[in-house]
Amino acid sequence: MTTALPLLRDIFGYEGFRPGQGEIVDAVTAGENVLAIMPTGGGKSLCFQIPALLRDGITVVISPLIALMRDQVRALQQVGVNAGALTSANTDEETAAVWDAIEAGELKLLYMAPERLASTATTETLRRIGVNLIAVDEAHCVSQWGHDFRPDYLRIGALRRALNVPLAAFTATADQETQAEIIEKLFDAETPRSFLRGFDRPNIHLAFAAKDNPRRQILEFAQARKGQSGIVYCGSRAKTEGLAAALRDSGHSACHYHAAMDPDERRLVETRFAREDGLIVVATVAFGMGIDKPDIRWVAHADLSKSIESYYQEIGRAGRDGAPAETLTLYGPEDIRLRRTQIDEGLAPADRRAADHARLNALLGLAEALKCRRQVLLAYFGEDAEECGNCDLCNTPVDTFDGTTAVRKALSAILRTEEFYGSGHLIDILTGNATNRVKEKRHDDLSVFGCGKEYPKPQWQAIFRQMMGRDLVRPDPERHGALRMTEPAIAILRGENSILLRKDTIRSAQRRPAVKMLINEEDAPLLSALKAKRRALAEAQKVPAYVIFPDRTLIEMAEKRPNDLDDMARISGVGAKKLERYGAAFLEVITGEAKTLHPARRKLAGRGSAELYDALLEVQARLQHGECGTLKPLSCSAAILAKIAQLRTDDESSLNRLLGERRAERFARAFLDVLRGAG
């Protein structure tokens, strides 16, 4: 495909496609049915936006959230693409403008919430206005198993059948079940061309820590990243409020978010988060799909997620712009107990519960990993990887020890007490702590009493946590969390298997390596100034800051310090429209002076024709008074020069026509030299 790349450069200002994007764009443009699974931040939007521009007619985009649609539409309008949304949040003027654009045959992308599809008139309308491609964002919303299920998504299949146009579905959700459901519901089980783009997000630093003092751990983590936008995920609503208050007390800008807040309050947090730099949102998992902010710099989990998929999705919200981002996940035995109980007490059928336990186990395996976390994470998604160098275990390898004897002692204690107790009591027995309860139950008479004195209590807690994490023991919901052994434990108890454990993992956040700076110290003040300019522009237009430019673009500006608009145009993320709109304003911040260029020249900035234009301008200035320097002054309009530069008009007669007789006489020969020399 030859046409996609120039669009990517001129409109979106990007040098090349990200891995996978190019092939998807080609397939969608060619009208194939496509299912693309790409990690968050992989750049899904471009995969339907560019085909929409390359194809005739209108592309309808089904997207689950109004806020998300509005942001995308604004971002498209910023780069000069004719896009609109029909949503319940539109003003009458907005709706009228969308219809005008449709009637004028100018609209290329029409965003729509799935609810609209409930009306049969919608299908007719879409047919009438010439929709010839359906793009489905967040396609996993069609899956009833997922937590994002949207019943109206089920209508999309019928829409596709009715319009008989190709459909491209996009999601970041990895698991097989969801993929199968998407294919069944959206494509009538006819397998589409599928693209599975690797799951690695190499810019996201992975780290886990055993819960010690979770509030302090989170505060320390946030402190080291002050001023950066971040999310803290919590297991309960009450906790979000408490932690947000604690963060504010330590001088952060922070607010809480959960599903029990009223919709207006929630929307306010979403908008603030999108617009403000450096806001921290402390939230339950309800804070998720509505956020489309590419420059979230960190995600911390104050409580463990419910599965490895959820974990991956939640941390994946960080660093979508590709710049470094950091994560920290805290976990402890109480998390494991809580998650197991939730699964066991849930209403799902037995096979589903078993699958949920397995997904939780995969996450616990990641938490208790002994080597590179990214390898473990990617292995779950079926990918091989080298050691990543960007996770806590690569940074600081853990000490391990042969835990077989310790685990066997613990298992014996469980067995001798008939699988009736939780870890606290079991540890008392192992360490020979004759509490009242121990005496009452006469557990001090057991052979295992005091058999584990070689480890202090915290060490035993870490051993029990790892045993739970490795699924050797599970809390029994019917016995108030008493620990029961699983199959794999029996092999260890019998001495058929050995087990390697981590030495304690309780390590404070303080001892983690210092924060990676986004930018070196020297450029930091400039970055702040650029961000301030961005904020002012964003506020004036009431759009999120990243709609003007993402962090990554500002970072590149601060590092490369473009001198003029031509340099500016070479910064990734600066397309033609944005250069025209904002280039001069940001350049002024960088160079400290206002640079004005004729608009006709500005349009050429960063392209080959700009150099030609400049050369023509020079020649013209030299010949202003003719070769002899005594003639009446004469010059060409900027528009004409731009046209000549752009068309590279190097045959004499066309050039003469463009210039007109008088100017041709003075400039044509010299211009031709320039144009032919540039050939």
Residue 328's DSSP bridge partners are: 300
What does 44 interact with, of ligand ADP, Zn ion, none (CB < 5 to 8 A by kind)? ligand ADP
Q: Residue 363 corresponds to which tokens in the numbers above?
A: 């996450």
In which residue are the tokens 């089904």 written?
62
* Distance of closest approach, residue 378 Cβ to Zn ion, in angstroms: 10
Q: Say how far apart CA 365 and CA 355 lie, in whole Å.
A: 15
Residue 46 contacts ligand ADP per CB under 6 A:
yes
Nearer to ligand ADP, 22 or 278 (CB): 22
Nearer to Zn ion, 243 or 388 (CB): 388
Q: Say how far apart CA 344 and CA 306 lie, in whole Å.
A: 13
Residue 42 contacts ligand ADP per CB under 6 A:
yes
* Distance of closest approach, residue 385 Cβ to ligand ADP, in angstroms: 20
- H or E, element range at 168: strand 167-171
* Distance of closest approach, residue 383 Cβ to Zn ion, in angstroms: 14
Stretch that binds Zn ion, among 88-96, 129-137, 161-169, 365-373 (CB under 5 A): 365-373
Q: Residue 416 corresponds to which tokens in the numbers above?
A: 């001798």
* Distance of closest approach, residue 373 Cβ to Zn ion, in angstroms: 6
What does 38 interact with, of ligand ADP, Zn ion, none (CB < 5 to 8 A by kind)? ligand ADP
Site string for ligand ADP, 570-599 (x = CB under 6 A): --x---------------------------
Q: What is the 3-state secondary structure (H, E, C) of 206-228?
A: ECEEECCCHHHHHHHHHHCCCCC
Q: Say how far apart CA 47 and CA 15 lie, in whole Å.
A: 15
Stretch that binds Zn ion, among 244-252, 352-360, 372-380, 543-551 (CB under 5 A): 372-380
Residue 445 main-chain phi, psi, to 5 deg: -90, -10
Nearer to ligand ADP, 230 or 575 (CB): 575
Residue 391 contacts Zn ion per CB under 5 A:
yes
Stretch that binds Zn ion, among 373-381, 415-423, 450-458, 615-623 (CB under 5 A): 373-381
Please report how many Cα atoms fall inside a 13 Å half-sphere around the Cα of residue 659, on the Cβ side.
28
Residue 36 contacts Zn ion per CB under 5 A:
no
What does 321 interact with, of Zn ion, ligand ADP, none (CB < 5 to 8 A by kind)? ligand ADP
Pairing of strands 83-86, 58-62: unpaired
How many residues line the site for ligand ADP (CB under 6 A)?
Answer: 17
Stretch that binds ligand ADP, among 44-52, 235-243, 597-605, 608-616 (CB under 6 A): 44-52
Nearer to ligand ADP, 285 or 506 (CB): 285
Task: Give the residue, chosen from 29, 33, 45, 327, that forms a contact with ligand ADP under the rule CB under 6 A.
Answer: 45
In this structure, are residues 301 and 329 in contact, taking their beta carbons and an 8 Å threshold? yes
Residue 281's DSSP bridge partners are: 231, 255
Nearer to ligand ADP, 150 or 320 (CB): 320
Residue 173 contacts ligand ADP per CB under 6 A:
no
- H or E, element range at 672: helix 661-678
How many residues line the site for Zn ion (CB under 5 A)?
Answer: 5
Nearer to Zn ion, 292 or 392 (CB): 392
Q: Say how far apart CA 574 and CA 587 lie, in whole Å.
A: 12
* Distance of closest approach, residue 15 Cβ to ligand ADP, in angstroms: 7
Task: Give the residue, chosen from 224, 261, 286, 394, that forms a contact with Zn ion under the rule CB under 5 A.
Answer: 394
Pairing of strands 298-301, 230-233: parallel
Stretch that binds ligand ADP, among 15-23, 80-88, 250-258, 439-447 (CB under 6 A): 15-23
Residue 372 contacts Zn ion per CB under 5 A:
yes
Q: What is the DSSP string of 284-295?
A: -TTSSTT---TT
Nearer to ligand ADP, 289 or 462 (CB): 289
Site for ligand ADP, residues 269 to 308, rule: CB under 6 A: 294
* Distance of closest approach, residue 48 Cβ to ligand ADP, in angstroms: 9
* Distance of closest approach, residue 13 Cβ to ligand ADP, in angstroms: 8
What does 116 interact with, of Zn ion, ligand ADP, none (CB < 5 to 8 A by kind)? none
**Helical spans, DSSP H, in 455-523:** 457-469, 487-493
Residue 388 contacts Zn ion per CB under 5 A:
yes
What does 391 interact with, of ligand ADP, Zn ion, none (CB < 5 to 8 A by kind)? Zn ion
Q: Which residues, in sequence order, are CB contacts of 296 under 8 Å at separation 6+? A: 229, 230, 231, 317, 318, 319, 320, 325
Q: Residue 404 corresponds to which tokens in the numbers above?
A: 């077989």
Residue 255 main-chain phi, psi, to 5 deg: -140, 165
CB pairs under 8 A, 24+ apart, for 390-398? 390/202, 390/203, 390/204, 390/205, 390/206, 391/205, 391/206, 391/207, 392/205, 392/206, 392/207, 392/208, 392/209, 392/512, 393/369, 395/513, 396/513, 397/371, 398/370, 398/502, 398/503, 398/505
Task: Give the residue, chosen from 38, 406, 574, 659, that forms a contact with ligand ADP under the rule CB under 6 A.
Answer: 38
In this structure, are residues 327 and 298 in contact, taking their beta carbons and an 8 Å threshold? yes
Q: Residue 655 corresponds to which tokens in the numbers above?
A: 């050039």
Residue 266 contacts ligand ADP per CB under 6 A:
no
Q: Residue 590 corresponds to which tokens in the numbers above?
A: 């960088």
Site string for ligand ADP, 540-559 (x = CB under 6 A): ----------x---------
Stretch that binds ligand ADP, among 43-51, 155-163, 612-620, 668-676 (CB under 6 A): 43-51
Task: Give the residue, chosen from 197, 239, 374, 601, that forms a contact with Zn ion under the rule CB under 5 A.
Answer: 374
Q: Say how far apart CA 577 and CA 598 lie, in whole Å.
A: 15
Using CB positions, name the residue nearest to ligand ADP.
43
Interface with Zn ion (CB under 5 A)? 372, 374, 388, 391, 394
Interface with ligand ADP (CB under 6 A)? 14, 17-18, 21, 38, 40-46, 294, 320-321, 550, 572
